[in-house]
Amino acid sequence: MSKVEILPNFIGGQRRKSTSPDFDWVRNPATGQDLAKVPLSGPEDVDKAAQAAQKAFPRWRRTPPGERVQYLYKLKQLLEEELDNLARSVTEECGKTLEEARGELQRGIENVEVACGIPTLMQGYNSEDIARGIDEIMIRQPVGVVAAITPFNFPAMIPLWFMPYAVACGNCIILKPSERVPVTIARLVRLIERTGLPEGVVQVVNGSRETVEAILDHPAIKAVSFVGSTTVARAVYARAAADGKRAQCQGGAKNPIIVLPDADMETTGRIAADSAFGCAGQRCLAASVAITVGEAGKSFRDVIVEIARKRKVGYGLEEGTEMGPVITAESKSRIEALIQKGIDGGGRPLVDGRGARIAGYEQGHFLRPTVIGEVSADNPVSGEEIFGPVLSLVEAATIEDAIEWVNSGRYGNMACLFTQSGAAARKFRHEADVGNIGINLGVAAPMAYFPFSGWKDSFFGDLHGQGRDAVDFYTQKKVVVERWPKEWSRKF
């Protein structure tokens, strides 16, 4: 792909130039290299995509589910064959390490695989003789034209949270990738073309805020999936709902981990570091607060500080790199300002990752892992999403105090507990007010056949992404009650 290519939209089975003259640059966050230009499409392009999807929908919905999934089987095969190339694309435009990018692709492929089970997952149910001679049947039918608005931090995986299920259920979908990372989706489109999927089933419209607003306001689009910050998720949910659309909107997070004194500190520290600093902290399941209980405070602090100081930061394509850059210079500045707020609020900088300079990559947006100790409940960073490689340390006297701290936050995406006590683990999983629970692991990422279950300000909607929730979201239930009296039957 040319470094200065203006990426096309993908509408009606064809790559099309956006009607908008406006564009933005896509740059490698580690090197500053220009990768492509992305058009900032407006309402006209969204309308073309919606019309193409609407035109394709009647035929696609009548395609038997067993036939629909044959295209997904082919897509799964192509994704596996091109995994390394796609992973490299993710690293180049997103900044994560190549190993992290491969893991992201594998998670996306798992969702394609689960969606291939739609002939079973989409089944309804029936009852014979609900009254004498009367039967009742529930069937599932596709919603129609749907859209997914996806973020920068998982350029491949999160679109694959939505697209396979939507398509398998008989819908036609419009993808709007983040304008910061559209190159991977452009390459995914080439694979979709190779599957032979009928034109109009999948569209891609590049753009920014105006594109999102046009999607939310278009009357042909019946459902919207979104992943991003809580502020935007709330606004997207409200605007979509006001227009009568279905919406599932994943927001931000402030994910705590609790460390009990009986935890294995070396293992806990390694797992916690991978959670907090993996993907440069730019994932909605990154640990951002470690709550140590009792005497776990000093031992965990010593371990996590040593690991943070030794973590190798650099370009994700270079062997041995453990953490890449953050996505933009603006993100780097915002994270550094929040670190200072945490220090000004009484926190102690045990490891300060600001001012990082990586030899050979001076144009990159690098920070090093940061650990802030002695963070109190009223510290500005104790409840604010940082979305960077920053871990705050909080001390609690008991597990009850730690759980209270978890439940007092506005977010409810994930919380994890490290312990050897089954009783403590059971108490924690029962009482913690979050949607994803981890026991002795740092990233409680659900498998594709389970819902990605955020709570509180981390999610707006009723049905989450992945698994059976996705099938429920992308289908509408129709109940048929029927009677066939003998005397009405024709005699042959």
Point out the residues that are catalytic.
284
Q: Alpha helices, DSSP H only, in 15-156?
A: 43-61, 65-81, 83-94, 98-115, 118-121
- Would you state the structure tokens that stand for residue 117, as one six-digit string? 């089970």
DSSP-derived 3-state class of residue 437: strand
C-alpha distances in Å from residue 491, one per residue of 486, 487, 488: 10, 9, 9
DSSP-derived 3-state class of residue 14: strand
Contact 260, 421 (CB under 8 A): yes
| CA-wise closest residue to 103 among 151, 69, 153 | 153
Amino acid sitting at position 279: C
In sequence order, what are the beta bridge partners of 146?
173, 223
Question: Between the CA atoms of 312, 316, 319 and 320, what dihedral angle is there, to the nearest 10 degrees?
Answer: 20
C-alpha distances in Å from residue 322, one per residue of 18, 42, 60, 318, 361: 38, 39, 44, 9, 15
Task: Give the C-alpha separation, 422 to 440, whole Å.
Answer: 11
Phi, psi (rounded to 5 degrees) for 412 = -150, 45
C-alpha distances in Å from residue 284, one per residue of 100, 234, 330, 473: 15, 16, 19, 21
Q: Is the dihedral of CA 83, 84, 85, 89 positive or negative?
A: positive
CA atoms within 13 A on the CB side of 194: 14
Q: Alpha helices, DSSP H only, in 178-288?
A: 183-195, 209-217, 230-242, 265-277
| CA-wise closest residue to 465 among 51, 148, 153, 208 | 148
How big is the chain by its Cα radius of gyration, in Å?
A: 24
Task: Give the C-alpha separation, 278 to 483, whole Å.
Answer: 59
Task: Give the C-alpha separation, 56 to 35, whole Å.
Answer: 33
C-alpha distances in Å from residue 318, one per residue of 95, 271, 313, 324: 12, 22, 10, 10
Taking phi over 0 as left and psi of -120 to 50 as alpha, with beta for the rest, 280 belongs to left
